[in-house]
């Protein structure tokens, strides 16, 4: 009888290849404290951004975040924002089962705030053009699945409020540094 040798090892998970479609969810939760001449305050921000990307070449990804944000501020009811942020990224392997994916996008968000504290009708809307940059380091424990995260930078390039009556005013711009967490897969 011949001995049977069984070898077990970690499966080699590869990085997304050309023409793969990547589906992921970016999750963020942040707390921001600010001071102004009006006094101190804080903003809690929850952001959910499912995303899709297409690997145009071996390393270049083209895609978008579909964004939902809920903001709550000191002394307010909060706000909900919705938008889309088209982006490009570059995928590079760092080692077995590990890859880096820096992404850069500029997009549009539309919100209906209750925290503007302007004593007029509630038909105010806020429109923002936002720049998003992140640097995700991802681990792929099995083929076609990854988890990871990394630093992010997000800032409004423009922000304005519109009351629906043709009056539009510039509003404060948000800037954030933080961490993002990603869970996703590719086909």
Q: What is the pLDDT of residues 130-145, one digit of tens each?
A: 999 999 999 999 989 9
Give the dihedral of Cα atoms 85, 88, 90, 96; nearest 10 deg.
40
Q: Name, in order, each residue with C-beta under 8 angstroms of 137's C-beta and a sequence gap of 6 or more.
A: 94, 98, 99, 100, 101, 148, 149, 150
Question: What is the β-pairing status of strands 125-139 and 145-162?
Answer: antiparallel
Distance of alpha carbon 139 from the chain centroid:
18
Q: Is-contact 150 134, C-beta < 8 A?
A: yes
Residue 7 has pLDDT above 50, yes or no: no
Q: Which domains does the chain have, with CATH numbers?
A: 21-186 (2.40.160.20)
Residue 120 has pLDDT above 60, yes or no: no
Supply the pTM of this predicted model.
Answer: 0.79
Residue whose structure tokens are 């990603």: 182
Q: How many CA atoms lie within 13 A of 116 on its CB side?
A: 24
Q: What is the pLDDT of residues 79-88, one digit of tens each?
A: 788 999 999 9
- Mean pLDDT score, 102-111: 94
């Amino acid at each position: 009888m011949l001995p049977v040798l069984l070898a077990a090892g970690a499966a080699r998970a590869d990085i997304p290849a050309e023409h793969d479609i990547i589906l992921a969810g970016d999750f963020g939760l942040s707390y921001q404290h600010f001071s102004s001449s009006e006094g101190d305050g804080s903003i809690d921000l929850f952001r959910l951004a499912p995303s899709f990307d297409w690997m145009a070449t071996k390393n270049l990804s083209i895609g978008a975040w579909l964004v939902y944000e809920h903001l709550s501020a000191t002394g307010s009811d909060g706000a909900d924002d919705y938008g889309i942020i088209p982006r490009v990224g570059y995928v590079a392997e760092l080692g077995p089962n590990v890859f880096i994916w820096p992404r850069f996008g500029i997009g549009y968000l539309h919100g209906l705030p209750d925290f503007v504290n302007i004593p007029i009708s509630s038909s105010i809307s806020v429109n923002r053009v936002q720049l998003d940059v992140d640097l995700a380091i991802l681990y792929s424990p099995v083929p076609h699945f990854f988890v990871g995260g990394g630093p992010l930078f997000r800032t409004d390039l423009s922000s304005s409020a519109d009351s629906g009556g043709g009056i539009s005013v510039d509003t404060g711009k948000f800037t954030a540094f933080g961490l993002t967490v990603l869970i996703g897969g590719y086909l």
